[in-house]
């Protein structure tokens, strides 16, 4: 689930006199130090240290901590067969519960304070802002909006050659369309070549509006160099980067991973 700025603002307002549990836990199963379940040890030790620091004479705080510790641990263990790269948890005795899977790495941190510690989450959102990835081909394009390494939006644009119009498919339909689209349409090639600039200008205007309204920091253009170069000419966006690789057989998550690593 995508983390939005509104949620972050609300978290910064939260507080609890007994305490607020914050957990940043790296659970990446592709990492050498995680493949044997080291995240379980880190979780256990992190929570144990917090409990030791709580004033034993304050029975209310101890009781509150044990309550939220169980809630957080149960939620994490419930997804242990499908762990992402990291987890972020904020939970209070009052019932406030924020649990997110992240596809980016975090530094392992545990806090029991009156307010949730959101600094690392803020830094991650700055490091992995909302961005657009556009896979350009001759007569179609696949758009992904991403933030924090997650897929926020998937959208497929299919050019109807007869009227130079772009038909839009969202969500699952976009993924299916991307996988099943025709590999070539030879009878339209000559017409497309004659109208490529106009077709790309129309698509660029649509994506530009999306980028501005959603406040993307960057647009990444993927595909053959000639196509991305022609499409970039139609964009007025301040930050555009080209990645001249073909990710035709990649899933959206795999495309995001490759782009962020490039």
Residues 100 and 174 in one domain: no
Q: What integer pLDDT is reported at residue 182 of this predicted model?
A: 47
Residues 79 and 201 in one domain: no
206-231 pLDDT per residue, tens: 999 999 999 999 999 999 999 999 99
Euclidean distance between CA atoms 5 and 136, whole angstroms: 29
* Degrees, nearest 5: CA angle 77-78-82: 90
Number of folded domains that form the chain: 2
Distances (CA, A) of 219 to 78, 103, 183: 36, 20, 25
140, 247: one domain? yes
Q: Does 19 score more than 80 pLDDT? A: yes
Q: Which residue has the tokens 């699952």?
A: 172
Between CA 161 and CA 194 the distance in angstroms is 11
Same domain, 12 and 49: yes
Please check whether residues 24 and 139 belong to one and the same domain. Answer: no
Range of the domain at 138: 128-261
Q: Output the domain CATH number for residue 201.
A: 3.30.420.60
Report the predicted TM-score, pTM, of the whole model to 2 decimal places. 0.80
DSSP character at residue 218? -
- Each residue's pLDDT tens digit, 121-180: 999 999 999 999 999 988 889 999 999 999 999 999 988 766 667 878 787 666 766 666
Q: What is the pLDDT of residue 184?
A: 45
Residues 237 and 194 in one domain: yes
Q: What percent of the chain has pLDDT over 70?
A: 86
CA distance 262 to 241: 11
Least confident segment among 3-7, 60-64, 105-109: 3-7
CB 20 within 8 A of CB 92: yes
Last residue of a domain, one of 84, 110, 126: 126
Q: 252 with 138, same domain?
A: yes
pLDDT of 109 above 90: yes
């Amino acid at each position: 689930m995508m983390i939005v700025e509104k949620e972050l603002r609300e978290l910064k307002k939260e507080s609890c006199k007994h305490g607020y549990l914050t957990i940043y836990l790296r659970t990446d199963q592709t990492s050498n130090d995680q493949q044997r379940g080291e995240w379980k040890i880190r979780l256990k030790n992190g929570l144990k240290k917090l409990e030791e620091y709580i004033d034993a004479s304050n029975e209310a705080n101890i009781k509150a901590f044990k309550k939220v510790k169980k809630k957080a641990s149960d939620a994490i263990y419930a997804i242990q067969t499908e762990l992402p790269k990291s987890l972020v948890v904020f939970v209070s005795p009052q019932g406030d519960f924020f649990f997110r899977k992240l596809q980016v790495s975090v530094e392992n941190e545990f806090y029991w304070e009156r307010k949730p510690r959101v600094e690392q989450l803020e830094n991650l959102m700055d490091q992995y802002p909302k961005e657009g990835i556009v896979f350009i081909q001759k007569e179609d394009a696949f758009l992904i909006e991403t933030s924090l390494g997650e897929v926020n939006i998937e959208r497929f644009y299919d050019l109807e050659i007869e009227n130079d119009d772009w038909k839009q498919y969202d969500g699952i339909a976009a993924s299916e369309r991307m996988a099943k689209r025709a590999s070539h349409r030879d009878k339209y090639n000559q017409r497309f070549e004659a109208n490529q600039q106009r077709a790309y200008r129309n698509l660029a205007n649509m994506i530009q509006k999306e980028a501005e309204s959603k406040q993307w920091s960057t647009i990444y253009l993927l595909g053959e160099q000639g196509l991305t170069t022609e499409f970039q000419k139609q964009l007025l966006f301040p930050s555009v980067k080209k990645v001249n690789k073909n990710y035709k057989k990649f899933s959206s998550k795999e495309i995001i991973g490759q782009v962020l690593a490039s």
